[in-house]
């Protein structure tokens, strides 16, 4: 366990110091932005929509017990931007992207393609790890921004169709209530989660060994450790960013 | 006498309790071809990986052109690696790139930022050198047979014209005729470049064809080292057992 933490720390150091140093492979970064960011939009959008809708229903049910059902729009907006937007997007992208990175790099590792990069005077950290980390850190806040909007929209759709809220009032309540820091703190979380996702995918991919089974194990480990780290980091960031 | 191009002195490497290299001493002169023979698990691949820096030896000295390379790190290591090329056992082609981009990889990445058009022309030229037509340039590596993959891997290794080339089991997994084709290509391509080469193999036909010098490794030590044409009169019991493929002899196979 301790050795694993040490290996991960060393890997993180290499990923940051070597992976982000020039030469930069812009084409790789662009490819990864497409794969990590753009192609994650549907799954993140759907997740956010249903989460926002369910959240509206739950808050309404809870709110009626205290005659506070008119707070639905505010609490949905707050819950989505500060907490559920980044966390749900982070977990969905972990499942999609950390797994894909671990499987791809794991296969490259066991077929010696990563060694081959080295012998072609290309540093694997710069060519493989750096672009994935940059792409994930850049695109996660955008994904979460989209998730925020769609999540609030989900709450709005449920609120105005089945809970009987007035459309204009719902929107006004949301926009009046949400503060700039609610959104930015969620986006800061998103950038950190992006780093975790790419790092976990790369770390487990680079350390996979022993053929197909090893690659499978690497993929599982990437998703599990990525999800746990995201939830732990979420708690740490929440207490850092919000406790004033 | 000048120092050989690549020198290994008393190189040790362990993985946990497993002591794989137990003091490897071997050298290869500039422009010569050394073949390291030995059974499975005797330390052949680990020796190559130590020279390339993919593994770090526990102790000992490895010098290339007189320069100590075991403790190079960062950009100095990348610079040193630019002098090497390698053909991997499974060819290790990048399956996300098509054939010509694989061959041209060493030309387009790293410090040599060659333009795509120019690199493609060189790649097609290198493919021709290994007997593959230009129609394969845009194929994906997944579409190729084992022999073709090896040829593309060879083309990729020689494309940046490195001064040192390593071959990891170049004929393993190929039929004997294709194996001989690859052996001939290796000899032609490396002689043309004047490159220093180290090949690891357990295929004696391949060793006889490629080698100027042969070294035999057993249990992490070099037990014999000499010119290729003396291999049949070495009077070394290890070598005799290996080249005749006998189960009886000083080499004990762990079952």
- Here the ipTM equals 0.87
B49 interfaces chain A, CB cutoff of 8 Å = yes
Residue B58 lies in a domain: yes
Residue B122 lies in a domain: no
Domain that holds residue B245: 1-83+212-255
- Tens-digit pLDDT profile for residues B194-222: 999 999 998 999 999 999 999 999 988 99
Which pTM was predicted? 0.89
> Which among A108, A119, A123 has CB closest to B86?
A119
Which residues of chain B are within 8 Å of residue A123 when distances are taken between CB atoms?
78
Residue B162 lies in a domain: no
- Chain A residues 20-79 within an 8 A CB cutoff of chain B: 23, 25
- Tens-digit pLDDT profile for residues A73-99: 999 999 999 999 999 999 999 999 999
Residue B47 lies in a domain: yes
Residue A22 lies in a domain: no
Share of chain A above pLDDT 70, in %: 99
Domains of chain A: total = 1
Which residues of chain A are within 8 Å of residue B16 when distances are taken between CB atoms?
none
Contact in structure between A93 and A33 (CB atoms under 8 Å): no
The answer to whether the CB atoms of A121 and B160 lie below 8 A apart is yes
- B47 contact partners, CB below 8 Å, separation of at least 6: B8, B11, B21, B24, B36, B200, B217
Domains of chain B: total = 1
Which residue of chain A is at minimal alpha-carbon distance from B168? A112
- Chain B residues 233-252 within an 8 A CB cutoff of chain A: none
Residue A92 lies in a domain: yes
Burial class (CB in 10 A: 0-12, 13-18, 19+), A13: exposed
Residue A216 lies in a domain: yes
Residue A8 lies in a domain: no
Residue B9: pLDDT band by 50, 70, 90 thresholds?
very high
Residue A15 lies in a domain: no
- Tens-digit pLDDT profile for residues B22-68: 999 999 999 999 999 988 888 888 999 999 888 889 999 999 988 89
Residue B217 lies in a domain: yes
DSSP B157-174: HHTT--SEEEEESTTTTS
Neighbour tally for B173: CB within 10 Å: 15
Residue A244: pLDDT band by 50, 70, 90 thresholds?
low
Q: Is the dihedral of CA B178, B85, B168, A116 positive or negative?
A: negative
Which residues of chain A are within 8 Å of residue B157 when distances are taken between CB atoms?
119
Residue B72 lies in a domain: yes
Any idea what the CATH number is for the domain that residue B44 is in? Answer: 3.40.50.300
H or E segment to which residue B188 belongs: helix B176-193
Residue A4 lies in a domain: no
Domain that holds residue A124: 29-242
Residue B252 lies in a domain: yes
H or E segment to which residue B206 belongs: helix B204-210
């Amino acid at each position: 366990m301790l050795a694993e933490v040490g290996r991960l720390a060393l890997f993180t150091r290499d990923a940051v110091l070597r992976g982000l140093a020039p030469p930069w492979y812009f084409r790789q970064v662009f490819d990864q932005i497409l794969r990590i960011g753009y192609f994650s939009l549907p799954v993140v959008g759907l997740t956010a929509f249903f989460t926002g809708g369910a959240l509206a229903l739950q808050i309404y049910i809870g709110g009626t017990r205290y005659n506070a059902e008119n707070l639905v729009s505010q609490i949905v907006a707050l819950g989505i931007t500060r907490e559920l937007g980044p966390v749900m997007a982070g977990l969905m992208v972990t499942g999609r992207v950390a797994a894909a990175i671990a499987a791809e790099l794991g296969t490259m590792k066991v077929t010696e393609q990563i060694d081959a990069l080295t012998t072609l005077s290309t540093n694997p950290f710069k060519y493989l790890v750096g672009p994935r980390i940059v792409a994930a850190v850049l695109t996660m806040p955008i994904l979460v921004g989209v998730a925020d909007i769609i999540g609030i929209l989900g709450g709005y759709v449920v609120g105005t169709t089945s809970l009987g809220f007035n459309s204009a009032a719902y929107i006004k309540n949301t926009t009046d209530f949400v503060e700039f820091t609610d959104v930015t703190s969620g986006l800061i979380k998103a950038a950190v989660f992006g780093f975790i996702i790419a790092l976990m995918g790369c770390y487990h991919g680079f350390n996979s060994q022993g053929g197909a089974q090893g690659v499978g194990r690497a993929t599982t480990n990437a998703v599990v450790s990525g999800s746990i780290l995201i939830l732990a980091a979420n708690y740490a960031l929440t207490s850092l960013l919000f406790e004033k | 006498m000048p120092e050989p191009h690549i020198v290994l002195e008393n190189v040790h490497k362990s993985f946990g309790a497993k002591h794989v290299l137990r003091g490897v001493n071997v050298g290869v002169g500039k422009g010569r071809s050394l073949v390291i023979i030995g059974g499975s698990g005797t330390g052949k691949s680990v020796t190559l990986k130590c020279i390339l820096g993919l593994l770090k030896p526990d102790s000992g000295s490895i010098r290339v052109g007189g320069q100590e390379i075991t403790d190079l790190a960062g950009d100095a290591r990348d610079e040193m690696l630019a002098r090497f090329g390698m053909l991997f056992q499974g060819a290790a082609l990048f399956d996300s790139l098509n054939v010509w981009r694989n061959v041209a990889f060493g030309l387009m990445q790293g410090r040599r930022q060659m333009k795509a058009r120019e690199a493609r022309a060189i790649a097609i030229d290198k493919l021709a050198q290994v007997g593959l037509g230009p129609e394969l340039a845009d194929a994906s590596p997944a579409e190729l047979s084992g022999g073709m993959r090896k040829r593309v891997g060879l083309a990729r290794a020689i494309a940046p014209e490195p001064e040192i080339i390593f071959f990891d089991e170049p004929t393993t997994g190929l039929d004997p005729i294709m194996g001989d084709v690859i052996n001939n290509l290796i000899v032609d391509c490396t002689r043309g470049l004047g490159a220093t080469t180290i090949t690891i193999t357990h295929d004696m036909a391949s060793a006889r064809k490629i080698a100027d010098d042969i070294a035999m490794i057993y249990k992490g030590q070099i037990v014999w080292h000499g010119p290729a044409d003396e291999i049949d009169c070495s009077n070394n019991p290890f070598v005799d057992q290996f080249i005749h493929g006998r189960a009886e002899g000083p080499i004990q196979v762990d079952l």
